[in-house]
Structure 1
Amino acid sequence: MRFSYCIKLLDNLRPTNLLEKIMPDELSPNFGMPLQSPTEGLDVEFKRALPLRESIGKAKLAKEICALANHGGGWIVLGREDDGSYPDVADAEIVDVDQDQVNQIAAAYLQPAPHCTVGKQKPEGIDFEVPVIWVPPCGTAPVCAKKNGPDDERGRTQGIIKGTHYIRKAGPVSEAIASPDEWQDVIRRCVLSDKASLLGALTTMVEQPRPVSEVEEQCVFEADFDHTVLKWKEEAHDHPYEVDLTSCFVGYGFQLVGGEQVTTDQIAECLRSRPLNSPDYTFFSVGYSSQYRPIVIEVAGHDGLEVHANTSEDDHRSIWRLSEMLSGTEIISYWEDTEWVKSAVEQNSSRTWERGQHIWIAQQISYANSFLATVKHIADYFNFSGEIRIRVLFSGLSGRNLKSTSFGAHYSMDYRAHQNTKQIDFVLKAADLAAETRSSAIASIIQPMNKLTQGPMVTAESVVRSLNANRR
């Protein structure tokens, strides 16, 4: 991979933390957002009370600010119990908390000190306001404690320890960084914050870099993904559907990072060589009629095979592209939105099934499994064992409710999404996509989307159960 291409890849790095996407520093924080969270999370911390006039309270607050800043930003809601409930009356210790007080505490205990923003919010059904603290992401350097908290009666330091970098960990809890792996996300955020300086330093390090064309400097993965989404929206506009397909779709993308360039003929042979005995959805399918046979289209200076099955003749629609740089994207409509599913449910039960209104988690797990299985086949065919970049974009989620087509299956609560899109990006090794180990990757795709509905947790174990149930 050429140096300039590496630079371009770095330039196209996108934040993976949800808060980094929806809360850039230059925008005003939405203080109502953390009140919508039913429980604490890695980016939301609840504190019923903190004695901020005392050193112990200040030290504990400084520790939480440090951890959230290094996590990529987050919220502290004062006056709320750990289980998400509220007391009958506001604790006197937190009633008068203001922004100056919080930032004075941060400046006293942390280096560099994040500039926090404080707002007052009145939770729904509660008679009093609670302070909500927005902690911004760390900048070009991670946040570190610069002094100790107070000692207890046995001489032990309480709250925060000088020289310690805290992060958010599963629990959720705020704890010290304890291993090199835990440094990775923190360092990445700092690198992104100082991207311009880093690019300049890298350029200086490399003497007389070989000139490359403008096309070669483009990030093929980004270009392929954006091209396929654009084609999908154009054709969805030209061929109306029961729901608005310009916004209701799921996009799956991958790139074999650093893989050798291949030809479109080799791609076609790779697809023809895979086993097609699975009942699941077939990604990058070449089994369409001649109307939908693959065509060759150039994007970002590289040829690729494309199939556009996004016309009014199809109940379930798709567009896919596989480029000679071993980058691929497929956009599909929700199977939940098809007339076939609606008819099957309503003919076999007394229930109604509204198109465009539901998310069927078992179906989305099946989609993710089929996609990753296809990517594994492509990697194996081209003898690739390195890192694979994965992207999944869910669009048209807002208002959709969790629902299952299975007879007798139901959810006891209203699990409805209130955010319209969710993009998931991660990198894994080709070996991680083996059938016996891919359940964790599937959960990494489905759970972030499912979290928007506040539905039951999707884990690697629940993925295995869902896939096994579908096979019976």
Structure 2
Amino acid sequence: MSKRDCRDVIAQNRVYIRKPGPRGEEPQTGEEWRALLRRCVQNGREDMLDSIRAIVSARVEPVSHVPNAAAELHGYAEGARRRWQELVADLPENDESRFPHGYYEMAFKLIGAEPAPTLVELRNRLQVAQRIRLTGWTTFLDMNRPEWAPYMHEDFIEAWVGRKVDRDWLRTSAHCDFWRASRDGKLYTVRGYSEDGIPNKVPAGAAIDLTMPVWRVGEGLLFASRFADTFEGVESIAIECTFTGLKDRYLTSVDGMRAMFGDRHSRTDTVTLVGQPTVQQVQDNLTEVMQALLSPLYERFDFFEAPFELFDTELNKLRGGRF
């Protein structure tokens, strides 16, 4: 399929096959289309069979890590965090936009992506990924109100939903996001914990809901995979997630649907998780990808071993929009 127009030769997004001459023309008959499709199926046969085997056996094969990709993503996350800290610097110390009880941040890098030529094109690609909303307050939120809408800053697109425009409108840390995107396919977002905004159930800074890390990171990773579909040449998705303010928090079930215990505490304040699945692994084996990524977080709570069923059940709810 042609990627661009060439006047009087080929047209963009049209399919061409090689014919005697030699020359390239669009398929004209049913037989020419059947031959083309047969070749496509044969060429992709091994990849297709391997995907089926991966789904049936529920395995996630390790991918070859690109040199310096993790370091580059870490540097991007640090720069984005400094930018957020600049924005909140003049706010009171206990302001919700500063996440006084801790926060979680996610950063993604589309490895192998051909950069978007302009920030306008980057905005278009973000909007394609934003068409699917899996939760009420979705990751990389694009607000309609101009005060919180995405804007250009240097060579990035960013949005700060924590900007105060109405002092009478009460918000929690979980609704004060900051996010940033770059033309070469890197994403960053930071948000406070929703558990800290429901004092009638748990005191602020005291607990982490058992299911929420699965929902938070799962939604971010699914957004990154949709974003990856708008780029050429993406091989895999590098991930860096950091959870802060964990010390002395305990695991709980905020909705009360599970018999949870309050004796599994974290003695660690900050945990950073890294991974690099392929886009296909995210699409076909998300449960396994998420279990491998998040298990070190759960283990900090007195060696809690999060079961496979937890990830599988919650991710099915997330993708089904049952929040």
TM tier, smaller: 0.5 to 0.7
Q: Secondary structure at the match of 1:292?
A: coil
8 Å CA contact 1:401–1:414 kept in 2: the answer is yes
Partners in 1 of 2:114 and 2:238 — Cα distance?
15
Q: Residue 318 of structure 1 is aligned with which of 150, 162, 177?
A: 177
Give, in whole Å, the separation in 1 of the partners of 2:303 and 2:137.
24
Give the number of aligned pairs.
246
Distance 1:249 1:355 in 2: 12
Match of 1:254 among 94, 99, 108: 108
Equivalent position to 2:277, from 386, 411, 428: 428
Please say if residues 228 and 319 of structure 1, whose CA atoms lie closer than 8 Å, have aligned partners that are also in contact.
no
Q: Which residue of 2 aligns with 1:272?
A: 127
Q: 1:386 aligns with which of 235, 238, 248?
A: 235
Q: Distance in 1 between matches of 2:292 and 2:204?
A: 26
CA distance in 1, matches of 2:263, 2:99: 24
- When residues 411 and 448 of structure 1 are mapped into structure 2, their CA distance, relative to the original with a 3 A threshold, is same
8 Å CA contact 2:114–2:232 kept in 1: the answer is no
- The equivalent of 1:332 in structure 2 is 191
Q: Residue 176 of structure 2 contacts residue 191 of structure 2 at CA under 8 Å; is this kept in 1?
A: yes
Using the alignment, how far apart are the partners of 1:220 and 1:327 within structure 2? 10
Change (3 A) 1:308 1:244: closer
Q: 1:304 aligns with which of 144, 156, 173?
A: 156
Give the aligned partner of residue 286 of structure 1: 142
Percent of pairs with identical residues: 18
Instruction: Tell me the SS of whatever aligns to 2:241.
Output: strand
Rounded Cα–Cα distance in structure 1 between residues aligned with 2:163 and 2:153: 19
Give the structure 1 partner of residue 295 of structure 2: 447
Check the 8 A contact 1:357/1:400 in 2, yes or no. Answer: yes
Where does residue 4 of structure 2 map in the other structure? none
**Correspondence for 1:222 among 49, 57, 74:** 74
Does residue 463 (structure 1) correspond to residue 311 (structure 2)? The answer is yes
Q: Any idea what SS the aligned residue of 1:260 has?
A: coil
1:404 aligns with 2:217: no
Higher relative contact order (CA 8 A, sep 6+): 2
Residue 415 in structure 1 maps to residue 274 in structure 2: no
Which residue pairs with 1:132 in the alignment? none
Question: Which SS does the other structure have where 2:142 is aligned?
Answer: coil
List runs of 5+ in structure 1 lacking aligned partners: 1-180, 193-218, 347-351
Q: 1:460 to 1:386 in 2, by over 3 A?
A: farther
Note if contact 2:196-2:202 (Cα within 8 Å) is conserved in structure 1.
no
Q: What is the distance in 1 between the residues matched to 2:89 and 2:194? A: 19
Q: 2: distance between equivalents of 1:242 and 1:225?
A: 21
Q: Which residues in structure 2 correspond to 1:176-195 (within 5 Å)? A: none
Matched to 1:245, the amino acid is: F
In structure 1, what is the Cα distance between the partners aligned to 2:135 and 2:287?
18
| Residues 297 and 232 (structure 1), Cα distance of their counterparts in 2 relative to 1, 3 Å cut | same
User: Counterpart amino acid of 1:306?
Assistant: E
Matches of 1:440 and 1:280 in 2, distance apart?
25
| Greater mean deviation of Cα atoms: 448-457 or 460-469 | 460-469
1:368 has 2:217 as partner: yes
Deviation at 1:237, TM superposition (A): 4.5
Cα deviation, residue 404, structure 1 = 1.2
Query: Shift of residue 249 of structure 1?
Result: 0.8
**Alignment partner of 1:320: what SS?**
strand
Distance 1:290 1:359, change over 3 A: same
Q: Label 1:308 to 1:447 Cα distance change in 2 as closer, same or farther (>3 A).
A: same
Distance 1:408 1:425, change over 3 A: closer
Separation in structure 1 between the aligned mates of residue 111 and residue 135 of structure 2, nearest angstrom: 30
For structure 2, the 5+ residue unaligned runs are 1-60
- What is the 5 A alignment of 1:131-150? none
Partner SS state of residue 428, structure 1: coil
Q: CA deviation at 1:408?
A: 5.1
Computing the radius of gyration over CA atoms, which structure comes out larger, 1 or 2?
1
Q: Could you say if the C-alpha distance between residues 327 and 242 of structure 1 is closer, same or farther in structure 2, counting changes exceeding 3 Å?
A: closer
Post-superposition Cα deviations, 1:7-35, rounded to whole Å, max 9, x if no partner, equal xxxxxxxxxxxxxxxxxxxxxxxxxxxxx
Q: 1:246 to 1:221 in 2, by over 3 A?
A: farther
Shift of 1:457: 1.7
Distance of 1:386 and 1:415 partners within structure 2: 38
* Cα pair distance change 1:244/1:331, threshold 3 Å: closer
Residues 391 and 277 (structure 1), Cα distance of their counterparts in 2 relative to 1, 3 Å cut:
closer
Deviation of 1:220 after TM superposition, in Å, equals 5.2
Q: Could you tell me how far apart the structure 2 residues matched to 1:253 and 1:366 are? A: 16
Q: Secondary structure at the match of 1:290?
A: coil
User: TM-score, with normalisation over the residues of structure 2?
Assistant: 0.67
Cα displacement (A) at 1:242: 5.7
Task: Please tell me whether the aligned partners of residues 305 and 322 of structure 1 are also in contact (alpha carbons under 8 angstroms).
Answer: yes
Q: TM-score, normalised by structure 1?
A: 0.47
2:277 counterpart SS class: strand
The structure-2 alpha-carbon separation of the partners of 1:413 and 1:283, relative to structure 1 and needing over 3 Å to count, comes to closer
RMSD: 2.9
